[in-house]
Amino acid sequence: MEEKVETEYPKFPLLGKKAPSFEAQTTHGKIKFPDDYKGKWIVLFSHPADFTPVCTTEFVAFQKRYEEFKKLNAELIGLSIDQVFSHIKWKEWIKEKLGVEIQFPIIADDLGKVACLYGMIHPNKGTNTVRSVFIIDPEGIVRAILYYPQETGRNIDEILRLLKALQTSDEKGVALPANWPNNELIGDHAIVPPASDEKTAKERLEKAKSGEIECYDWWFCHKKL
């Protein structure tokens, strides 16, 4: 009888759960995460390695949009399993050669402890961290997780869009459609949460008749924010 081989998969945080805590050295000094960022949104992202072309384009793209993230009360934090000396030298190279100063901190996870906590290393994709993104809210709750392979750079505008969508959903109590705010069916409208009983379903259609909201049917209603 063939022996069953147990496959180990990396563990990672789950949506709606507290972000794992850690202390680490960064290019801005030591941090206690996520405690040092309480009250702010956090975009924690890993990259495979310093001094690599795709990662360099990503860091420049993140920095170009850094002010937009800050306007949304969000902080960027990069990470790879390189040492802090490598991070510093790479930042210097980007500033000297490309004219862009990376202003957000980069975690030096040279022992891979944070990468293991966050499932950033995928064995079938090598020993470096893949391109992961964790959006964490001001209460330290993981709200979104994205993974990209090493060979494909991220769309930073999509990460911004996702952050805006999460904040809008929290503030307005709505859901956001595909490609929001440029959805093919409802444009920049938000989706009204589905009715949970028959009474509410009928009320939805009445509201649609009065123009308060718009509906394709009782289960698919939307409104202008």
CB neighbours of 52 closer than 8 A, spacing ≥ 6? none
CB neighbours of 25 closer than 8 A, spacing ≥ 6? 84, 107, 108
Give the DSSP H/E element, type plus range, for residue 24: strand 22-26
**What six digits make up the tokens of 5?**
């081989």
What's the rounded Cα separation, in Å, for the pair 164 and 72? 7
Cβ(137)–Cβ(167) below 8 Å: no
CB neighbours of 183 closer than 8 A, spacing ≥ 6? 177, 189
CB neighbours of 216 closer than 8 A, spacing ≥ 6? none
Q: Which residue in 55, 116, 215, 221 is the catalytic one?
A: 55
Query: Which among 142, 146, 125, 164 is positioned nearest to 46, based on CA atoms?
Result: 146
What's the rounded Cα separation, in Å, for the pair 135 and 160? 10
| Residue 55: active-site member | yes
> DSSP for 41-67?
EEEEEE-S-SS-HHHHHHHHHHHHTHH
- Catalytic residues, which ones? 55
